[in-house]
Chains A and B, each alone.
Chain A
Amino acid sequence: MIEVAVFCSMAAVALVSAVLVVTLRNTVHCALFLGLSLAGVAGVFGTLAADFLFVSQILIYVGGIAVLMIFAVMLMGRTSDLTLRQVNQEWLAGLLVCAITAAGLLRQAKGFLGKAADAPARALAAQAATKPLGRLMLGDFAVPFELISLVLMAALLGAIFFTRKEDEPKSTENGKPGRGGGT
C-alpha cells in the first residue's frame, strides 16, 4: 500500500512538473521544475525496486544534467520573456509525436496493466540486482553497451570540437608567448 501511494505521488510529481516546464514563462523556474521532474522519475524507479536505475537517474540527470541546464539558463542572463508565444506552428506535429509515443508505450505496458506482481517477481526484485545487471551489461549485451559508449564518445569529441576556438596567433596581448590554440 505504501508502495502504491509513493508510486502515485512520484508519478504525479514527475508529470505535473513536466507540464510546468513547458508552460511557465520564467526560464529559471522551468529549469528548476525540469530537475524536479527528473527527480520524480527517479522516485518512480525507486518504488519499482530498480535501485541502480534510481541512483543513476539522480546521479546523471538530477545532479548533472539539470544542474548544467540551470547553469546555462543563468548564464544566459534574460530569464523570462512575457511576450514570447509559448507554442509555434509545429504544435500539431509535436502532438502527433507524443500521441504515437504514448500509444507505443501503452501497447508495451498493456500486458502488465492491472496485474499485481506475483511472488517470484517480488522476491527477485527484493534481492540484490546490481551485480547481475553488471554481468549482463558486459556479457550478453556487451555489443550494444559498447556501441552506446562509442556514440557517447563521438558526442563528447564533437562537443569539444565545436566549442574549441580557432587557432590563435602564438602571442597574447601582453606580447608574451601565449598558450597557443584554445585547447
Chain B
Amino acid sequence: MSELYPKPVFSKKAGRLLKTRLWPTERWASPWSQPQYRRSAGMLAGIIFGILLVGVVVGELSKWGDLLYRLLLTGTAWLHQTLPAYGAPAGFLGDAADITWISFKVIVIVAVINLNGLWAVWWERKLSAHMQSRLGPMYAGGFHGWAQTALDAVKLLLKEDARPADADGAVHRLAPVVVIVPAVLAFAPVLFGKELAAAKLDVGALYVLAVSGVSVIGIVMAGWASNNKFSLLGGLRSAAQVVSYEIPRIFAVVPVLMFVGSLDLAVIDQAQQGYWWGFFPRWFVFWFPAGPLAFLLFLIASLAETNRVPFDIPEAESELVAGFMTEYSGMKWALFFLAEYAYVLLACFMLSVFFLGGGAAPLPFLAIVPSWIWMLAKALAMMFLFMWLRWTLPRFRVDQLMDFNWKFLLPWSFACVGLAGIMLLWI
C-alpha cells in the first residue's frame, strides 16, 4: 500500500505537508483526503475515455452513414437489374435496403446505450469515491479499475436468475423488457451533433418526453409482479412520482418551443447557433429570465424522472430494501440499471439540446471542433452534475416530494411559460 500512498513530507519551513506534484484540486483539499485527490488523473482520463468511446461510435462512424446508405441502395438496384428473373416486386428491394439501414441505426443506438451503461457506472463509482474520500474500484484491469463494470456484467450474466415462487411469472419476466424498450425507442430522434440523429421527427421534442414516460409501466409491473410489499410500494411510489413530475418537465420545455416555434430537435439546435456581440453564445439558458428558470425546472424534473437521488424514493434502500428491484437478480436486474443510465444520458442530451446550444461551440473560434464533440461534452458535463447531486444530497420524504412538485415546480413552470410569452413581445 505504500506505493498507493506516498508519504508526504512535513516541511517546517512551509508549515504544511510538502509534495512534489500538486493537482489543482489538491490545493483546496483537506490533508486527510489528499492521497485520494492524487488520483484525479483517473477522473480526467475517464472523461476523455468516455468521450472517445461513445463519440467514436456515434460521431465518426455516422459520417460514413450517407455513403453506406447510397452503397446499399445502388447495390440493391444492381441486384434488381441483374436478377429480374426472381420476380421480386419493384419496391421490395428498396424496402429491404431500408429495413437493413434502419437495423444499422438501431444497432448503433443500442451500442451507445450499452457503452454508456458500461462507462457511466464506472465513472459514477470513481466519482462517488472521490467525493467521499475513498478509492473506488482500483484493481480490476490495472488502471484505476477500468475493467470493473465489464467484469460485473460478466458476473451478472453468470448469476442465478431467482424468481419468487408466488410471483406472477409472465409479468415478472416482462417488466425489465418494458422498462428498457422505451429507453431505446426514445433515442430515435436524439441529436448527437449537428443534423446527426437516427430519425428526423417533426415532433421530436415531444416524442422523447412521451416515450420516456412509458417506462414507468415496466417499473410498476416489476413492483406488482414480485408479490412483495416493499416492491409494490416502490412501484406505486414510482408511478405517482413519474406521472406528477412529467407535467412540470414538459411545461419547462414549452418556453424553448415558444422561442423556436418548432418541435423538431434539429431546428431547436439550429436556433441556438450564433453569438450576441460576437462572442456571447445565444443558448437558451442565457435567455434571461425564462431560459435559466426553465433550465433549472427541467433539470430538477429530469432528476425526478430518472429516479435518481434526491428523488430516488421508488428504490430507497433504507426504507424499501431496493424498491421495485428487490426480487430481481442477474441480467434482469442489470437491465433496470441499464435503462436508468440510458435515461440519464437521454436527459443530459435533452438538456444540452434544449438549453445549452446543442452542437454550438461556446466561442466563435472554437467552431472548428466538430459539433458532436460539443454535444457530447455538454451532455457529459450535465451527467457529471447529475452524479454530483446524487452523491451530495440526501433523499426527499414522500410527502415532501409531492409538495415540492405540486406547490413549487408546477406553479413556477406556469410562470416560466408566462415569462416567455412576455419576452416574446420584446424580441
Is B202 interfacial (CB 8 A cutoff)?
A: yes
Chain A residues positioned under 8 Å from B262 (CB to CB): 130-131
Count: A-B pairs, CB below 8 Å: 90
Is there an interface contact between A51 and B202, defined as CB atoms closer than 8 Å? yes
Is there an interface contact between A75 and B236, defined as CB atoms closer than 8 Å? yes
Q: How large is the interface on B (under 10, 10 to 19, 20 to 34, 35 or more residues)?
A: 35 or more
Q: State which residues 1-37 of A face B: CB under 8 Å.
A: 1-2, 28-29, 32, 35
Chain B residues positioned under 8 Å from A64 (CB to CB): 213, 243, 246
One of B201, B210, B232 near A58 (C-beta < 8 A): B210
Is there an interface contact between B236 and A2, defined as CB atoms closer than 8 Å? no
Is there an interface contact between B240 and A71, defined as CB atoms closer than 8 Å? yes
Is A129 interfacial (CB 8 A cutoff)?
A: yes
Is there an interface contact between B221 and A58, defined as CB atoms closer than 8 Å? no
Is A100 interfacial (CB 8 A cutoff)?
A: no
Chain A residues positioned under 8 Å from B236 (CB to CB): 71, 74-75
Is there an interface contact between A67 and B243, defined as CB atoms closer than 8 Å? yes
Kindly name the residue among A35, A67, A70, A128 whose own CB sees the greatest number of chain B CB atoms within 10 A.
A67
Is there an interface contact between A70 and B171, defined as CB atoms closer than 8 Å? no
Docked Cα-Cα span, A55 to B188, in Å, equals 13
CB within 8 Å for A74 and B206 given contacts A32-B171, A58-B214: no
Docked Cα-Cα span, A111 to B261, in Å, equals 36
Q: Closest residue of chain B to A5, judged by CB?
A: B95
Chain A residues positioned under 8 Å from B220 (CB to CB): 67, 70-71, 74
Chain B residues positioned under 8 Å from A54 (CB to CB): 203
How would residues 157 to 199 of chain B score, 1 for a CB under 8 Å from any chain A CB and 0 otherwise?
0000000000010010000000000000000000000000000
One of B92, B202, B214, B250 near A130 (C-beta < 8 A): B202
Is A52 interfacial (CB 8 A cutoff)?
A: yes
Q: State which residues 230-266 of B face A: CB under 8 Å.
A: 232, 235-236, 239-240, 242-243, 246, 250, 261-264
One of A1, A29, A56 near B171 (C-beta < 8 A): A29
Chain A residues positioned under 8 Å from B298 (CB to CB): none
How would residues 122 to 144 of chain B score, 1 for a CB under 8 Å from any chain A CB and 0 otherwise?
00000000000000000000000
Docked Cα-Cα span, A62 to B224, in Å, equals 18
Docked Cα-Cα span, A67 to B92, in Å, equals 40
Docked Cα-Cα span, A59 to B207, in Å, equals 8
Q: State which residues 38-61 of A face B: CB under 8 Å.
A: 39, 51-52, 54-56, 58-59
- For the complex formed, measure the closest distance between the CB of B168 and the CB atoms of chain A, giving whole angstroms: 8
Q: How many residues of A contact B (CB 8 A)?
A: 29
Docked Cα-Cα span, A159 to B211, in Å, equals 27
Is A98 interfacial (CB 8 A cutoff)?
A: no
Docked Cα-Cα span, A29 to B221, in Å, equals 10
CB within 8 Å for A130 and B203 given contacts A2-B95, A64-B243: yes
CB within 8 Å for A1 and B91 given contacts A28-B171, A63-B246, A71-B240: yes
Is there an interface contact between B235 and A74, defined as CB atoms closer than 8 Å? yes
How would residues 83 to 103 of chain B score, 1 for a CB under 8 Å from any chain A CB and 0 otherwise?
000000101100100110000
One of B91, B217, B242 near A32 (C-beta < 8 A): B217
Is there an interface contact between A70 and B217, defined as CB atoms closer than 8 Å? yes
Is there an interface contact between A28 and B206, defined as CB atoms closer than 8 Å? no
Q: Closest residue of chain B to A29, judged by CB?
A: B171
A residues whose Cβ falls under 8 Å from a Cβ of B: 1-2, 28-29, 32, 35, 39, 51-52, 54-56, 58-59, 62-64, 66-68, 70-71, 74-75, 79, 128-131
Question: Can you report 6 A-B residue pairs in the complex whose CB atoms are below 8 A from each other?
Answer: A1-B95, A56-B206, A58-B213, A64-B243, A68-B243, A130-B263
A-B interface, 5 closest residue pairs, ranked by CB to CB distance from nearest: A63-B213, A59-B210, A58-B210, A128-B202, A55-B206
B residues whose Cβ falls under 8 Å from a Cβ of A: 89, 91-92, 95, 98-99, 168, 171, 201-203, 206-207, 209-211, 213-214, 216-217, 220-221, 223-224, 232, 235-236, 239-240, 242-243, 246, 250, 261-264
